[in-house]
């Protein structure tokens, strides 16, 4: 991949790609250039057979992402606001959510507004103990516009989404764990290792099954799709994959599957 990137760092080791949002002086706030770079890299990772899992994190010790870059939209009109949200949904947040490869958000420090929305679009979230997260948009006179009103309600429940969005309050890692916004909390110095450990666990499993599982879980939130029917058909489609043959043979031969 030959890309000139200013706002993110991309490292690939084996089958694991780590994408670091790298604007620490602005607490990694998501400006348009960063969103475009993230979109390009994630699309490239989707098409790269070497990449099996992606970790997203933020540079520095203070923030994952402190939100969309407020300085970029302070003078926007209705049309510009709508276009900003639409572009973000299509080019980045939905792209991540629907990716065929698992994405892990490793959240260090602040994940606010678009930052929490970015983490919510990932498939798995690992938080450092210093994580502080929230959707404070109503304090700026706007609402979450990168999927936060939908994904927070899906992940944490409607009541908690109402509480967090209407109060604009930040919550700490322990409360986020209690709300199901993250599934693990580790000391800050162990965050990278914890995310890699999770990635390695996932990478032991069949890539095609991972991709189908993501699609099926997402189907329960899609409109006009019966998730149960979707699961039945997708389950059936597993049975002509080489990975199914390898997984079941490995079990019967009492060895580890080699996907």
Judged by beta carbon, residue 141 or residue 236, the one nearer ligand COA is 141
Annotated active-site residue in 137, 169, 189, 253: 137
Interaction of residue 67 with ligand COA, rule CB under 6 A: yes
Minimum CB distance to ligand COA, residue 234 (Å): 36
Minimum CB distance to ligand COA, residue 70 (Å): 4
Interaction of residue 197 with ligand COA, rule CB under 6 A: no
Which H or E element spans position 132? Answer: strand 132-134
Judged by beta carbon, residue 14 or residue 81, the one nearer ligand COA is 81
Count other Cβ atoms within 10 Å, centred on residue 229.
10
Judged by beta carbon, residue 188 or residue 211, the one nearer ligand COA is 188
Count other Cβ atoms within 10 Å, centred on residue 2.
3
Judged by beta carbon, residue 27 or residue 199, the one nearer ligand COA is 27
Residue of the chain from 47, 71, 237, 248 that contacts ligand COA (CB under 6 A): 71
Q: How far apart are the first and last CA of the chain?
A: 24
Residue of the chain from 10, 16, 27, 107 that contacts ligand COA (CB under 6 A): 27
Please answer whether residues 106 and 191 qualify as being in contact, where contact means their C-beta atoms are separated by less than 8 angstroms.
yes
Please answer whether residues 50 and 20 qualify as being in contact, where contact means their C-beta atoms are separated by less than 8 angstroms.
no
- Binders of ligand COA among residues 132 to 151 (CB under 6 A) are 136-137, 140
- Selected range binding ligand COA among 33-41, 66-74, 78-86, 123-131, rule: CB under 6 A: 66-74
- Binders of ligand COA among residues 104 to 133 (CB under 6 A) are 110, 112-114
Q: Which residues contact 213 (CB under 8 A, 6 or more apart)?
A: none
Minimum CB distance to ligand COA, residue 65 (Å): 8
For every residue of 188-225, DSSP letters joined together read GGGHHHHHHHHHHHHHTS-HHHHHHHHHHHHHTTSTT-
Backbone angles phi, psi at 134, to 5 degrees: 180, 170
Question: Is 137 tagged catalytic?
Answer: yes
Minimum CB distance to ligand COA, residue 77 (Å): 17
- Selected range binding ligand COA among 32-40, 67-75, 234-242, 243-251, rule: CB under 6 A: 67-75
Strands 171-172 and 132-134: antiparallel
Q: Which residues contact 39 (CB under 8 A, 6 or more apart)?
A: 91, 92, 95
Which H or E element spans position 65? Answer: strand 63-65
Question: Is 72 tagged catalytic?
Answer: no
Q: Using CB under 6 A as the criterion, which residues of the chain lie in contact with ligand COA when the complex forms?
A: 26-27, 29, 66-71, 110, 112-114, 136-137, 140
Report the catalytic residues.
Answer: 117, 137
């Amino acid at each position: 991949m030959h890309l000139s990137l200013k706002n993110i760092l991309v490292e690939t080791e084996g089958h694991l790609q780590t994408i670091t949002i790298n604007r620490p002086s602005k607490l990694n706030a998501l400006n348009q250039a960063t969103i475009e770079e993230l979109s390009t890299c994630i699309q490239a990772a989707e098409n790269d057979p070497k990449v099996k899992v992606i970790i997203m994190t933020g540079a520095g010790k203070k923030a994952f992402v402190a939100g969309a870059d407020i300085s970029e939209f302070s003078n926007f009109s209705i049309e510009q606001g709508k276009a900003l949200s639409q572009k973000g949904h299509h080019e980045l947040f939905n792209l991540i959510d629907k990716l065929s490869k698992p994405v892990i958000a490793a959240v260090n420090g602040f994940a606010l507004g678009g930052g929490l929305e970015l983490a919510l679009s990932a498939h798995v979230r690992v938080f450092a103990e210093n994580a502080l997260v929230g959707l404070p948009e109503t304090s700026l006179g706007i609402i979450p516009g990168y999927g936060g009103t939908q994904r927070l309600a899906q992940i944490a429940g409607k009541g908690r989404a109402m509480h967090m969005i209407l109060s604009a309050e930040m919550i700490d890692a322990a409360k986020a764990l209690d709300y199901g916004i993250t599934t693990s909390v580790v000391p800050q110095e162990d965050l990278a290792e914890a995310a890699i450990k999770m990635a390695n666990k996932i990478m032991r499993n069949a890539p095609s099954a991972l991709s189908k599982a993501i699609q099926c879980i997402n189907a329960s939130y899609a409109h006009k799709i019966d998730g149960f029917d979707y699961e039945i058909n997708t389950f059936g489609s597993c049975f002509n994959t080489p990975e199914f043959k390898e997984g079941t043979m490995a079990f019967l031969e009492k060895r580890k599957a080699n996907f």
